[in-house]
Structure 1
Amino acid sequence: MTSATRSMSEIVTSAVADFRALVPDCIASGLVDMSTGMLLAVDTLDDYPGELLDLLAAATFDLFQGRNVTMIEEMFKARRGVTDTRHYFQEILVHSDNLIHLFLRSQANQDIVAVIVCRRDVKVGMVSAQARIVMKQLESGFAG
């Protein structure tokens, strides 16, 4: 089945499965639609409660488009003379006690953010590199 014949739901579901399969030590992945704040799809090792996943989507929205973040983006863009509508922050990496969380905004569709959760002892560079590859595949699915 080519990307032209695949539904958006199939493309999104396949992408979160690919993040989980291809990103080293990935224990969970999801895609958040920033225009609605909703989690589009998720793939996890464990069965997480829906409330936790909803909070993840809300936290992703706050990280990228919360009021203070938006003000900082506008200030940075103004100082650099950037006039386009593209968001300034594209990737955010969060380290917790046991995990790392990579938040990766789509270059092709700024309203789509991937959330990748990996064990803390993973090589962060490999997580970023593999996640970017999967994101490019997702973006080609959007274009197809």
Structure 2
Amino acid sequence: MSEPSISQIITNTVKELRQNVPDCVAAGMVDMSTGMLLAVDTVDSHPGEVLDLLAAATFDMFQGRNVVMIEEMFNKRRGIDNAGHYFREILVNSENLVHLFIRSSMAEDMVSVVVTRRSVNIGMLFAQARMVMRRLDASLAG
């Protein structure tokens, strides 16, 4: 049996996030090198423009000009050269939803997006999403 492609690993990860994270209404994976949404799984259909904006917002939160400047400043003050990205996870609470963004440890250009209902237990959200991301990283490591 052949090993799954990167595309299949990403698709499986997004489906696993949607299925395993409590109160999850949507999950996706954004490629930070292009700003493109690689895969998405939602309970409702959403216009392409909304999904494109989600990918662009994810890119801005993790690799926008000011964020990169902050990361460089933190690394410089710590005497670290080329340490990679400083910000690993971002949690955003909106009026009705909770949005969790997690950068892959093995492929820093991949960020997962998990959207849940506001009623989610935040601890379980992090625990389940991190568990799925560890499996993604293990799959990418080979």
TM-score between both structures, scaled by the size of structure 2: 0.96
| 1:77 pairs with one of 70, 75, 78 | 75
User: Following TM superposition, by how much is the alpha carbon of 1:82 offset from its aligned partner in structure 2, in angstroms?
Assistant: 2.0
Q: Secondary structure at the match of 1:108?
A: coil
Deviations 1:9-39 (A, max 9, x none): 2111110000000011010000000001110
1:112 corresponds to which of 110, 113, 120: 110
Cα deviations across residues 31-87 of structure 1 (Å, max 9, x unaligned)? 000001110000000001111000000000000000011111111111122223410
Equivalent in the alignment of 2:13: 15
- Opposite residue 9 of structure 2, the aligned amino acid is I
- Structure 2 counterpart of 1:28: 26
Equivalent residue of 1:115, what SS? strand
Alignment partner, residue 129 of structure 1: 127
Distance 2:141 2:31 in 1: 17
Gapped runs of 5+ residues in structure 1? none
Aligned residue pairs, count: 142
Give the secondary structure class of the aligned counterpart of 1:77.
helix
Give the deviation of 1:99 after TM superposition: 0.5
